[in-house]
Amino acid sequence: MHALFTGLLATETLLQLVAGMSHAGALRVGCFAAAGLFGVTTALHWRRDPRWWATGLVATLISQLWLVWSWDQLAWHSAVHAVVLLGVMYGMASVGPISLLARYRHDVLPRMVGPRDPSMVTTADLARLPPLLQRFLRRAEVVGKPRVHHVRAHWRGRIRSDPDSPWMPFEATQVNHLTEPARLFYMRARRGGLPVDVYHAYRGTEATMEVRLLSLFPMVDLDGDGLTRAETVTLFNDAVILAPGCLVDLPVRWEEEQGQTIRGYYTVGRHTVSATLIFDDTGDLIDFVSDDRAVLEADGHSLSDRRWSTPLGDHETLETGRLPVRGSACWHTDQGLFTYLELELVGHEMNPEPDPDWPRGLTAHKLRVGSKQEGSHGPTHRGGVRR
């Protein structure tokens, strides 16, 4: 769809040029001006620059003025304009200032700056943790790496609302702040071919969740204490999976259990949640199980407590450490295990510097693989997934 609409914009650029060469005077100047603006719009749209809709809107309005002026000659062109205008309006809704993506970007950027602890994780930091957790953190290769201020991840996968619903493919990007707890997660999925935007925001001690069809029509709009408690579990889950090195500093109380399991009690604000971490014989984390996360019911408003787990696999050693690159999320129901989410990690960064142009859309943002950058607040570690 992206390439198709880019082609339509390029076609509109050519039509404006042809119209300009076929006329004289002010009409010619107007057509050439519109062609220039449509050319800029085409380039911005191809690059997934979120500003493309603004130049497209100006170009469409200017061009339509000239069409009205010379309606007897160019009336047919209004049909093309109508399609372009619909695309531009959707662009404003999906990446413009009223979009969930814009809200995500607004929330993320301030949390990627500020003071950071420049020290590295050491073996002494691990010494105060239970032996099973020490083995996990050594396996995850956190020793000798910077303490985690924030982490950014990029995902692709599929999701469904119930066992009878079709899977919806998605791409997602998120930033988690560890020292001042925050989780900002933006997803774009497709339902019946139509785009669905999802934004989970955990800021401070409050969480919200919003879902829009076609970037405009609300499907879910949640907040409240129940959601905040559920998202505290997700925050804990993300910390263990995406930034295990932060476990040396997080406010977690640990209890050793039998076998390859350990239980953690994580506190943020007024919420304390718990989860059981399950490891294999090598020390890799293979599951995270909690009874403190609530499922969103079919009405789109109410939440119900249910056991939640995230089986993990395909661990790989990246620049940022050893991480699971594939996983799923499941609800434990009376009818059995229901897997509602399957995902693959396609990009991972520890303490990345803010990028004023990020993200350009969503799918355009691909994290660079296997590089390190030195910034004013210490090293940035980037990792990519080998596929």
Which residue matches tokens 């991840």?
Answer: 153
What is the rounded average pLDDT of the residues 267-295? 95
Inside any domain, residue 149 = yes
* 156 and 293 in a common domain: yes
Last residue of a domain, one of 95, 111, 134: 95
Q: What is the 3-state secondary structure (H, E, C) of the chain?
A: CHHHHHHHHHHHHHHHHHHHHHCCHHHHHHHHHHHHHHHHHHHHHHCCCCCHHHHHHHHHHHHHHHHHHCHHHHCCHHHHHHHHHHHHHHHHHHHCCCCHHHHHHHHHHHHHCCCCCCCECCHHHHHCCCHHHHHHHHHCCCCCCECCCEEEEEEEEEECCCCCCCCEEEEEEEEEECCCCEEEEEEEEEECCEEEEEEEEEECCEEEEEEEECCCEEEEEECCHHHHHHHHHHHHHHHHHHCHHHHHCCCEEEEECCCCEEEEEEEECCEEEEEEEEECCCCCEEEEEECCCEEECCCCCCEEECEEECCEEEEEEECCEEEEEEEEEEEEECCEEEEEEEEEEEEEEECCCCCCCCCCCCCCCCCCCCCEEEECCEEEEEECCCC
Report whether pLDDT(312) > 80. Answer: yes
Which structural domain, as residue segments, surrounds residue 21? 2-95
Last residue of a domain, one of 79, 95, 111: 95
Model pTM score: 0.86
What is the rounded average pLDDT of the residues 244-256? 94
Inside any domain, residue 76 = yes
pLDDT at 26: 77
* 335 and 268 in a common domain: yes
Inside any domain, residue 276 = yes
* 74 and 154 in a common domain: no
Q: pLDDT digits over 158-172, tens only? A: 999 999 999 999 999
Q: pLDDT digits over 81-102, tens only? A: 788 888 999 999 998 999 999 9
pLDDT at 358: 54
Report whether pLDDT(362) > 60. Answer: no
Distance CA 156, CA 160 (A): 14
* 87 and 127 in a common domain: no
pLDDT at 168: 96
**Could you tell me the two tokens for 201?**
């925001």
Q: pLDDT digits over 13-58, tens only? A: 888 888 778 777 777 888 888 889 999 999 999 988 888 999 999 9
pLDDT at 282: 95
Inside any domain, residue 103 = no
Inside any domain, residue 116 = no
CATH number at residue 259: 2.50.20.10
Q: What domain count does the chain have? A: 2
